[in-house]
Amino acid sequence: MNTGVRMVTRSRSRAPRIAAEGCGEELTPREATAGRKSHRPVKRPRKTHKLHVAYEVSNGEKGEDAEPLKVPGWEPQNWQQQLANIRIMRSQKDAPVDQLGAEHCYDASAPPKVRRYQILLSLMLSSQTKDQVTAGAMQRLRARGLTVESILQTDDDMLGRLIYPVGFWRNKVKFIKQTTAILQQHYEGDIPASVAELVALPGVGPKMAHLAMAVAWGTISGIAVDTHVHRITNRLRWTKKVTKTPEETRTALEEWLPRGLWSEINGLLVGFGQQICLPVHPQCQACLNQALCPAAQDL
């Protein structure tokens, strides 16, 4: 008795196809079971193909061309809520810096070059000086015509009387005269348009340079950190470790603070430091951040 083997053939075109997840390709049952053991003789080895998978990223570009994801770095705890609270406390804009800061001390009707020079001088005078005193000195200087030419024609004794009682006024007389002469000789009476050139001027530090870039040139080059910003950011623990100088604080802040906030921080925190977060006896009871401020917990 002959035992016949019944062969069942199917049309290839009618074979169901199995989708391979995540690959966008389809496999026939024959291909899907290629890895299983088969009792049928293998006529020839199958040719393998490498599968290239392109991962889609959020901006719609292929993973091969996309920039690698940035790993979030350190940032202070609760800083966004602390910032929001400070904005609320500063919403009235009634601190001395809001009316007497560098952006309010120049003659708005003067030519652009003269305005920029006056902004730089107000910043030089403001170092270690209250805004009210700086504003008074600027008024006296402007009353005599505050230009590069007029300052160079003013003798040191008269210049000292005009700017007194700003802090370190004798040194500032010397720095103002030296800087003004450099501006006339090398910048055609204008001020430099870069931080590097500004800090090279006598009596001009990093804080003044960044503020000059922002107010005079409309360019945000960095965070302007004075004693108020230095003190408050350390109290709030906005630096990864305690910083000893304003310049250390600036570097620490710029490592994590979003660049879009750099222009706001100086005026916001200076006014906050003038009214609530005072150098001595800060008014923590009136501060919305009392429960969030590490320094307040230590007082």
Tokens of 231: 């003190």
Tokens of 176: 């103002």
Nearest to 274 by CA among 132, 137, 136: 132
For 130-170, the DSSP string reads: -HHHHHHHHHHHHHT--SHHHHHHS-HHHHHHHHTTSTTHH
Which amino acid does the sequence have at 208?
M
Burial pattern 208-229, b for ≥16 Cβ within 10 A else e, equals: bbbbbbbbbbeebbbbbbbebb
Q: Is 113 a catalytic residue?
A: no
Per annotation, catalytic residue among 93, 177, 207, 240: 207
Q: Using alpha carbons only, what angle is made at residue 280 by residues 277 and 286, rounded to the nearest 5 degrees?
A: 35
**Are 217 and 116 within 8 A, CB to CB?**
yes
Burial pattern 27-41, b for ≥16 Cβ within 10 A else e, equals: eeeeeeeeeeeeeee
**Are 228 and 272 within 8 A, CB to CB?**
yes
* Three-state DSSP state, 110: coil
Nearest to 271 by CA among 120, 80, 86: 86
Tokens of 111: 């030519």
Q: Which residues are catalytic?
A: 207
